[in-house]
C-alpha cells in the first residue's frame, strides 16, 4: 500500500533539482515529509526535556550548518541509531535520489516510535 513517503520519493525522483529546497523547507514543500525532524510534531528546532535541540536525519548524522553542533533526535536511542546508519548522508548537500528510500524507511520507523500521524 502506497503512502506519503512513496509519493514523496516519486516526486523527488522526477524532480531531483527540488531535493535541496524541499529539505530546507520540509513543512512547505511537496515531498518534505521525507525530511521531517525527528520530533513528535516533525518540526525542526524543538527542544527535548533536557534542553537539547532536535533536528532532521542529516543534522543528526552530521553537524548543523549554523551552529556546527550535532543536533539530536527526540530520544537518545533514536539519536544513536541514526548516527550509526551510514546509508544516511551527513549533509543536505549529499542527499541524492538513491538516498530517498532510506529517508522513507527512517520516517516510517520514527512515525511508529514517536506515534506520529
pLDDT tens digit sequence for 87-96: 999 999 999 9
Residue 65: pLDDT band (50, 70, 90) is: low
Ramachandran class of 35: left when φ > 0, alpha when ψ lies in -120 to 50, beta otherwise: alpha
Mean pLDDT of the 50-66 span: 89
Please tell me the predicted confidence (pLDDT) of residue 116.
95
Q: pTM of this prediction?
A: 0.93
Residue of 34 and 117 predicted with greater confidence: 34
Domain ranges of the chain: 4-113
Mean pLDDT of the 79-101 span: 96
Q: What single DSSP character describes residue 46?
A: P
Amino acid at each position: 500500500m502506497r503512502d506519503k513517503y512513496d509519493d514523496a520519493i516519486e516526486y523527488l525522483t522526477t524532480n531531483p533539482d527540488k531535493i535541496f529546497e524541499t529539505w530546507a523547507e520540509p513543512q512547505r514543500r511537496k515531498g518534505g515529509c521525507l525530511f521531517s525532524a525527528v520530533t513528535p510534531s516533525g518540526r525542526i528546532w524543538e527542544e527535548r526535556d533536557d534542553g537539547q535541540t532536535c533536528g532532521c536525519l542529516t543534522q543528526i548524522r552530521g553537524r548543523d550548518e549554523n551552529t556546527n553542533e550535532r543536533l539530536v533526535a527526540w530520544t537518545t536511542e533514536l539519536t544513536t541509531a541514526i548516527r550509526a546508519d551510514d546509508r544516511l548522508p551527513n549533509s543536505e548537500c549529499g542527499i541524492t535520489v538513491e538516498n530517498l528510500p532510506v529517508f522513507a524507511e527512517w520516517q516510517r520507523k520514527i512515525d511508529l516510535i514517536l506515534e506520529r500521524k
